[in-house]
Chain A
């Protein structure tokens, strides 16, 4: 499986740590305390996912692999939707999951934002209230303030006029932006994107890809993108980790 070579991509990685040790390659990722450091082992019947993933602050890493490679399982463990069987997840110095120490921070108390593959915007809430949902729940803000915050996020993503729409009346690209605004409005310290372009038609893909390329580098939080498409990985990420059958097969 090709792992992609991100350093040749037009998305010039602004992270100086990466080209700093080309000899060590993947074995010395930037695992500062401010980023994500995950050693993940999950067993599900025959399938075993056993991978190490580190993402530094301000860095975007793509996890590349076919369906069934364990990408989504990794994402669920990081989001707190699936507990580890073994290993340890730390984010910004905080232990999120460590079965050996019987420590598990549930999803709702993890500073982790997720953009799901089909967005999972709440169909009964308007776009604005979808974004405000997390502001109220995670940051404990009042309704009025949360809505103002939501509006400014939508504004920032160029869809300020769509706040009154329900998700059913949004296009794929618009839904993607609302979903990203919803995740970022909770001020996460880790952003997870699950197949951010898979649900879009080819015309919209280019537009959303360009949009993500402008937004992701501005984030201070580490970003992890799960994708099956090497092109997306190359264009959007600073580094790529390739999965196959629950194992890391290449890092670049």
Chain B
């Protein structure tokens, strides 16, 4: 039997990879299709040549340059493309399996079932709440790590990113020891305020935030480090104090990284399994999120598990595509050509999605 910790990852990761995979496929198709116009283009440049005495206009040169680059790309060594293709297949295969084996005819009944709707709704709510918490607390943390100097900063940065590599179950156990009824903080929450976090919906959000916030922090901190800080100088010379500068200049400049980080964060929270089941348990209606429901269903009804997985996959893909259209580079390159639209901000690493 797979450990819950292992199980939590595959739900989030293939969904993202699927998107990337599709995009890659689309891009390469465009490129190879662009190859054929490449030739006519240079033919067209032929008759133009007579008119083209103006030395400033050298379309011919640019076309040949592009063709040459395309040619060198085509000559990929087999030692790279064979393992590369194997890797791509390996990542796509499980998704194909999911689609092939899906009980398509019974699907409408399976996914409209009350328990499924309940789990899906709970998952969407908690993942969104975890993302909001991550934004509210994660962006300031990223700013502190990127913009201030204080003792122990590198240690803090390492600790902050620890949940990225920590097995989620361990995270769940740690949360229990900190925020559980007998936990170092949790016992006081219980005594003084009557607040109990474990095995509640709030506990689900806490577990998801713990696991997902580092994605946002890392993404935003990277963008802050590579953003042009002279814009902040300019804001200061215009009379903006640190808080105004942060709100009206810094955050808008790194907005693409914030969006990418939030999308990663949300996807990670949506797929969270290990920390959730450890810290919040598995109570239908209050803590049974989609991944937990999938896992439960797999023991009793494989078709239901597949159906749930498909729903989760569809939700992830839909959200990532929707975000991509607005924020991610392919779309922004399109916007750049239109003068009335926002100009793209040069920000360095924009997370893995971009």
Contacts and interface: CB of A to CB of B under 8 A. Distances in A.
Kindly list the 7 A-B residue pairs having the minimum CB-CB distance in the complex, ordered from nearest: A168-B343, A138-B239, A134-B238, A107-B236, A169-B339, A137-B239, A137-B240
A242 to B, nearest CB: 25
Interface stretch (B93-101, B116-124, B203-211, B245-253): B245-253
Interface stretch (A28-36, A57-65, A95-103, A117-125): A117-125
B238 A81 contact: no
B340 A133 contact: no
B237 interface: yes
Among B237, B241, B249, the most chain A Cβ lie within 10 Å of the Cβ of B237
10 contacts: A81-B236, A107-B236, A110-B237, A113-B237, A122-B234, A123-B345, A139-B239, A166-B342, A168-B336, A169-B340
A123 B343 contact: yes
Counting chain A residues whose Cβ lies within 8 A of the other chain, the interface size class is 20 to 34
Interface residues of B, number: 26
B226 interface: no
B137 interface: no
B235 interface: yes
A164 B340 CA distance: 8
Nearest to A76: B233
Interface of A is mostly: mixed
Contact of A108 (B241, B255, B339): B241
A114 B252 contact: no
A80 B345 contact: no
Given A108-B237, A182-B238, 9 more contacts: A108-B240, A114-B237, A116-B230, A122-B253, A123-B342, A133-B240, A137-B241, A138-B238, A168-B339
Nearest to B251: A124
Given A108-B241, A139-B239, A123 B253 contact: yes
Contacts of B235: 122, 133, 137
A107 B237 contact: yes
Interface string B324-348: 0000000000001001111111000
Given A133-B248, A137-B244, A124 B237 contact: no
B253 A80 contact: no
A124 B252 contact: yes
Contact of B233 (A81, A125, A168): A81
B233 A124 contact: no
A79 B244 CA distance: 18
B353 to A, nearest CB: 20
B307 to A, nearest CB: 43
B85 to A, nearest CB: 39
Given A120-B230, A122-B249, A123-B253, A81 B237 contact: yes
Interface string B34-51: 000000000000000000
A212 B35 CA distance: 49
A112 interface: yes
Contacts of B234: 114, 116, 120, 122
Nearest to B346: A123
Contacts of B230: 116, 120
A122 to B, nearest CB: 6
A167 interface: yes
Contacts of A166: 340-343
A134 B239 contact: yes
Contacts of A93: none
Contact of B343 (A79, A106, A167, A182): A167
A186 interface: yes
Given A81-B233, A107-B233, A116-B230, A124 B238 contact: no
Contacts of A80: 236-237
A234 B240 CA distance: 34
B231 interface: yes
A124 B236 contact: no
Nearest to B244: A137
Among B234, B255, B340, B341, the most chain A Cβ lie within 10 Å of the Cβ of B234
A120 B346 CA distance: 13
Contacts of A137: 235, 238-241, 244
A157 to B, nearest CB: 17
A39 B175 CA distance: 58
A124 B239 contact: no
Contacts of A107: 233, 236-237
A165 interface: yes
Nearest to B239: A138
A80 B339 CA distance: 35
Interface string A176-212: 0000001100100000000000000000000000000
